[in-house]
Copies of this chain bind each other. A is one copy, B any other.
């Protein structure tokens, strides 16, 4: 049968990610191809630390754990690496090969052992999940270990409590040290898990080139458990996000879950009947999504049974239920074009 081949231009027109609009160092960039990306990166690399790092308000008390809380210490470095969106070269749902280049230069957070002595594992998308309980203090030693993109990056957390020193956001003349961590530099963030921090939250780059670098993969999750709260038997964080041609230089936009597209590449989640399961779904691009899991429903926070809730950029929804339905199930974004672009995976339940 006749192939409906997609040339670059027409596909870009069809994809959600036609172009990215970014503000870097106050200049607006419209990034729609590899050359634009190079120009945006050059601008980001040219920025030097704002001279008058903010002294508006100083003398913040040093954050400490609450009584009975612990210090949870992490060593995390940011680095770029080549990343394959389609390692299996197949869409396992539709049982077909997928051809074409699928590797791009990603920017990722990598967990290290104490003192940055050695990697704890390979650098992947998403970055390490930081876990703590209410009352704990997250102490995150962060190093910008990238020597390729030459840009200041940061870690900006959601959900936890922090004073302005640990916001991890570039703010022009008001930038503090933790909001501009240049290649080779280190900074230690101190984030408190307060009672209103209970939940699952994203963290991500918020440096001067945050839009591009976050979309490249500089994101991860923080889980704050209630003090003594029950930890689910099976807990997974799923980031929904597009990897688009402006960011990847590839021909095709891919609708991803945790940096991968199409079932078999995206996480295959293995569960067992009787388990207390929690799937935390976080939007991590410019689109709104909704998360559907076949064969299951769960109570949302408002007390309604749902199986396809909406989730926006950097918002989290949690599907928590006791597993009772053995079999192989699809999970996917229910925006049809996202689902068809790869935002789907397997959830397999054993008896």
Chain A residues in the interface with B (C-beta under 8 A): 1-4, 6, 10-11, 13-15, 18-23, 25-30, 32, 36, 39-40, 42-43, 46, 50, 54, 56-57, 91-98, 156, 158-159, 161-164, 167, 169, 171-174, 196-199, 201, 208, 210-211, 214-215, 285-286, 288-290, 292, 294-295, 297-315, 325-330, 334-337, 339-341, 351
Q: Which residues of B contact A50 (CB under 8 A)?
A: 95
Q: Which residues of B contact A288 (CB under 8 A)?
A: 288, 310, 312
A43 to B94, CA, bound (A): 13
Closest B residue to A262 by CB, please name it.
Answer: B23
A95 to B179, CA, bound (A): 15
Assess the A25–B308 pair: CB atoms within 8 A. no
Closest B residue to A7 by CB, please name it.
Answer: B30
21 of the cross-chain contacts (CB-CB < 8 Å) are: A6-B30, A11-B30, A21-B340, A26-B91, A91-B172, A158-B307, A159-B305, A159-B307, A167-B327, A169-B330, A171-B328, A196-B297, A198-B305, A199-B304, A199-B306, A201-B307, A210-B336, A211-B339, A309-B315, A313-B335, A314-B334
Assess the B305–A303 pair: CB atoms within 8 A. no
CB distance from A83 to the nearest CB of B (A): 20
* Residue from A18, A54, A159, A295 with most neighbouring chain B CB atoms (10 Å): A295
Assess the B215–A336 pair: CB atoms within 8 A. yes
* Residue from A32, A201, A285, A306 with most neighbouring chain B CB atoms (10 Å): A306
Q: Which residues of B contact A312 (CB under 8 A)?
A: 288-290, 308-310, 334-335
A36 to B4, CA, bound (A): 8
Q: Which residues of B contact A3 (CB under 8 A)?
A: 27
Q: Give the residue of B13, B23, B314 whose beta carbon is less than 8 angstroms from that of A19.
A: B13
A20 to B173, CA, bound (A): 37
A241 to B203, CA, bound (A): 26
Task: Known A42-B1, A336-B313; judge A167-B308 contact (CB<8 A).
Answer: no
Closest B residue to A318 by CB, please name it.
Answer: B304
Assess the A337–B21 pair: CB atoms within 8 A. yes
